[in-house]
Amino acid sequence: MSSKPHFVLTPLMSPGHYIPMMDMAKLLAEQNTLVTIILTPLVAQRMKPITDRAISSGLPIQILLLSFPTLEAGLPDGCETVDTIPSMSFYKNFLHALELLQHPYEQLLQNLNPKPNCIIVGKQLAFSAQTADKFNIPRIVFDGMNCFTLVCSHSLHLSKIFETLGEDDPFIVPGLPDKIQLTHRQLPGDFNPGQVDVKEIRERIREGEEKAYGVVINSFKELEPKYVKELKKIRGDNVWCIGPLSLCNNDDRDKAVRGNVSSINENQCLNWLDKQKPSSVIYACLGSLNRLTPPQLIELGLGLDLSTHPFIWVIRGANKPEEIENWIKENKFEERVKHKAIVVRGWSPQVLILSHPAVGAFLTHCGWNSSIEGISSGLPMICWPLFGEQFLNEILIVDALGIGFRVGAKGVTHIGDEEKYGVTVSRERVSEEIRKVMNEDEDGKEMRKKARELGKMAKMAIEKGGSSYLNLIMLVNQIKKMLN
């Protein structure tokens, strides 16, 4: 038997999950462990630049491919990740495909040598609870969220306080250390499902989560100390905050290739940023799963222009992208703003951009991956949550941490229902919130100071002796003890 613990990592096939899990793999591999990452072909292809660099640097990481049952689950060819699902009518098929992975996944585990000592899996892979029991391996879950959101979700699940209220009636989430006010419309899919009812699957995921040996969190203790403590009350001591995971990428090349091949030449992007004044640029990106309608996306573009600040605008995952392209061409938008802006289609080297000294604020959808990357870079945020747990993250950023402003989104825009919501945020509001964040008055200065301090704390957490570094050591040592 190997004296090194062997960790097997398997993320959900979604950028917000497999990107941080790859960072996690590198951190574990640096702690004298063996790491196997099980990926589906499309994810492996997207991650190839960074996995190749990690392996060639000498880290003991291997990649195993798990064929994705696209056709068997009734999905269109090439639909293998959450961001490639063409419409919500295929969402149930996608979840069914995840279930079909159990047998081939177990075959891969069976053939591994040395045998795995721990599996870390995306919690949405509900079958892994049975797999862990079958192989008698501790299973740790990862779902890409923070402690605050997990504690809020636990309280909502127990109290069901929202069930008797109208969708816009405010209520206080019970049993939390802070007064957290929400409406039903702002709740994540577990409590506020859209057009596709997947209650039964959600229940299986929840049960699997509760049975897990522990949970790893892409956060750090100093960011949300009260909620780390609360989560340990709920889950026991096996809660390991080991983030911000993105900070394991110190090299510019690692930052540039993290997640996918960039749609823009990173040198061109860095050269442009080098010419801008310090802390002057707005970076606007609403995530890989956003499906904003053309009219709403146009308002965002015009709001960025109206703010008068230089900006980088990432158009990715939009609903009807050809309409956006037509508008950009017909209105000569790109040409008009070329002296002060870059428009990026597709994937951008986000961590590389956010860490550049010219960037002064981040306009974000508040997905946790993006939020923690913004926090790590010491940036204040302009918050535009869209769905999932993003409204909870907005509360953490704006109310608890005091490092952001809201653009005024009122509730979840369910994927597939975007057309019926229309334009909910105006260009004037976008411009106004940007100006508030960048303002030289006391409020603006204080917010930026808080953001910078959190950025420093984030970096200290993952350095040798920091809270996240020590948590990682504790996790590895706990699994090591089981080898004897």
Q: Write out pLDDT tens, residues 346-361.
A: 778 899 999 999 999 9
Lowest-confidence segment of 59-73, 249-263, 437-451 by average pLDDT: 249-263
Most distant CA pair in the chain: distance in Å? Answer: 68
Phi-psi category of residue 366: left, alpha or beta, with phi > 0 → left and psi -120 to 50 → alpha: left
pLDDT category at 61 given cuts 50, 70, 90 is very high
Residue written as token pair 């990106």: 285
Amino acid identity of residue 153, one-letter, is: S
Q: How many CA atoms lie within 13 A of 441 on its CB side?
A: 5
Residue written as token pair 């996944």: 105
Q: How far apart are CA 177 and CA 161, in angstroms?
A: 17
Q: What is the mean pLDDT of residues 290-297?
A: 85
Q: How far apart are CA 438 and CA 363, in angstroms?
A: 12
Query: Are 99 and 165 found together in one domain?
Result: yes
Tell me, what's the pLDDT at 345?
84
Q: How far apart are CA 79 and CA 75, in angstroms?
A: 6
Q: Is 121 helix (H, G, I), strand (E, B) or coil?
A: strand
Name every residue whose Cβ is closer than 8 Å to that of residue 71 and which is 6 or more positions away in sequence: 77
Residue 106 to residues 7, 11, 135, 257, Cα–Cα distance (Å): 15, 15, 9, 31
253 within a domain of the structure (yes/no):
no
Name every residue whose Cβ is closer than 8 Å to that of residue 216 and which is 6 or more positions away in sequence: 24, 120, 140, 141, 142, 240, 242, 475
Query: Are 469 and 404 found together in one domain?
Result: no
Query: Are 396 and 428 found together in one domain?
Result: yes
Query: Are 234 and 331 found together in one domain?
Result: no
Lowest-confidence segment of 21-25, 157-161, 192-196, 335-339 by average pLDDT: 192-196
Q: What angle do CA 149, 288, 260 make, to 5 degrees?
A: 115
258 within a domain of the structure (yes/no):
no
**What digits encode the pLDDT tens for the residues 352-393?**
999 999 999 999 999 999 999 999 999 999 999 998 899 999
Q: Are 60 and 34 in contact (CB under 8 A)?
A: yes
Query: Are 229 and 374 found together in one domain?
Result: no
pLDDT value at 465 more than 70: yes
How far from the centroid of its chain's Cα atoms is residue 210's Cα?
22
Query: Are 303 and 240 found together in one domain?
Result: no
Query: Are 274 and 345 found together in one domain?
Result: yes
254 within a domain of the structure (yes/no):
no
159 within a domain of the structure (yes/no):
yes
Tell me, what's the pLDDT at 284?
97
163 within a domain of the structure (yes/no):
yes
Query: Are 473 and 448 found together in one domain?
Result: no
CATH number at residue 116: 3.40.50.2000
H helical segments located in 112-146 = 128-135
Query: Are 300 and 424 found together in one domain?
Result: yes
Query: Are 446 and 473 found together in one domain?
Result: no
Query: Are 415 and 319 found together in one domain?
Result: yes
Q: What is the mean pLDDT of residues 99-120?
A: 96
Tell me, what's the pLDDT at 265?
76
Residue 451 lies in domain: 263-459
Tell me, what's the pLDDT at 412?
84
214 within a domain of the structure (yes/no):
yes
Bridge partners (DSSP) of residue 464 are: none
13 within a domain of the structure (yes/no):
yes
Tell me, what's the pLDDT at 254?
64
Q: What is the mean pLDDT of residues 323-328?
A: 88
pLDDT category at 416 given cuts 50, 70, 90 is low
Burial 78-104 (b: 16+ CB within 10 A, else e): ebbbbbbbeebebbebbbbbbeebbee
Tell me, what's the pLDDT at 9?
98
Q: How far apart are CA 304 and CA 283, in angstroms?
A: 10
Q: How far apart are CA 154 and CA 162, in angstroms?
A: 13
**Tokens standing for residue 417:** 């229902």
pLDDT category at 484 given cuts 50, 70, 90 is low
Tell me, what's the pLDDT at 260?
52
Secondary structure string (H, E, C) spanning 297-356: HHHHHHHHHHCCCCEEEEECCCCCHHHHHHHHHHCCHHHHHCCCEEEEECCCCHHHHHCC
Q: What is the mean pLDDT of the chain?
A: 91
97 within a domain of the structure (yes/no):
yes
* Total domain count, the chain: 2
Q: How far apart are CA 470 and CA 200, in angstroms?
A: 38
Query: Are 204 and 268 found together in one domain?
Result: no
